[in-house]
């Protein structure tokens, strides 16, 4: 989608600090980090929110999680811990409508989240 910020990052029209790239997804650093480690993992294909996800997207969505976990291992935060979270629509604070998995780590995270 040409008017989608994250589709533009996928196509390279907007720069991002990429930390992961493969056939299905990319990972890049969040521009406004909420933790010492804050990366986003997104499918190359545009899916607006989890509300649009179908059973056919199972592999794609699982792949985001496995890719993020690999990056967490590479960053040395697997043992201390990290959080993977996906916000859906306004009540959860979603601001970019292209599915993205947040990886947050490198500090003690509180629960419940705000
Ligand atoms: P959400 O609020 O769950 O929709 O998260 C959107 C995230 O995208 C926020 O954490 C933003 O800081 C991040 N973000 C917005 N624009 C960019 C960008 N150009 N590059 C990297 N991260 C971005
Ligand atoms: Zn998009």
Q: Which of 31, 35, 41, 92 to mutate to test ligand 1, by most ligand atoms within 8 A of the CB atom?
A: 31
Burial 21-40 (b: 16+ CB within 10 A, else e): eeeebbbbebeeeebebbbb
- Nearest 5°: phi and psi at 106? 90, 0
Q: Is the CB of 48 under 6 A from ligand 1?
A: no
The pLDDT score that the predictor gives to residue 2 is: 82
Ligand 1 nearest-atom number relative to CA 97? 4
Evaluate whether residue 74 is within a structural domain.
Answer: yes
Q: Is the CB of 110 under 6 A from ligand 1?
A: no
Evaluate whether residue 110 is within a structural domain.
Answer: no
- Nearest 5°: phi and psi at 77? -110, 10
Evaluate whether residue 77 is within a structural domain.
Answer: yes
Evaluate whether residue 89 is within a structural domain.
Answer: yes
Residues designated as active site = 100
CA-nearest of 76, 91, 9 to 42 is: 9
Domain count, the chain: 1
Report helix, strand or coil for 92.
helix
Range of the structural domain that residue 9 is part of = 5-105
101-105/82-85 β-pairing: antiparallel
The pLDDT score that the predictor gives to residue 91 is: 97
Provide the whole-model pTM.
Answer: 0.98
Q: Which of 5, 16, 30, 84 to mutate to test ligand 1, by most ligand atoms within 8 A of the CB atom?
A: 30
Evaluate whether residue 112 is within a structural domain.
Answer: no
Helix H or strand E encompassing 63: helix 58-74
Instruction: For residue range 56-76, list pLDDT tens digits in order.
Output: 999 999 999 999 999 999 999
> pLDDT confidence of 1, banded at 50, 70, 90?
confident
> pLDDT confidence of 114, banded at 50, 70, 90?
confident
Evaluate whether residue 114 is within a structural domain.
Answer: no
Instruction: For residue range 19-66, list pLDDT tens digits in order.
Output: 999 999 999 999 999 999 999 999 999 999 999 999 999 999 999 999
Evaluate whether residue 72 is within a structural domain.
Answer: yes
CATH number at residue 87: 3.30.428.10
């Amino acid at each position: 989608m040409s008017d989608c910020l994250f589709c533009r990052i996928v196509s390279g029209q907007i720069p991002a600090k990429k930390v992961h790239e493969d056939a299905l997804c990319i990972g890049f650093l969040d521009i406004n980090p909420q933790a010492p480690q804050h990366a986003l993992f997104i499918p190359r294909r545009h899916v607006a929110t989890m509300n649009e996800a179908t059973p056919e997207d199972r592999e794609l969505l699982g792949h985001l999680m496995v890719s993020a976990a690999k990056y967490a291992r590479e960053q040395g935060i697997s043992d201390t811990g990290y959080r993977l979270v996906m916000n859906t629509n306004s009540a959860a604070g979603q601001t970019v409508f292209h599915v993205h998995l947040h990886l947050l780590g490198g500090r003690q995270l509180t629960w419940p989240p705000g």
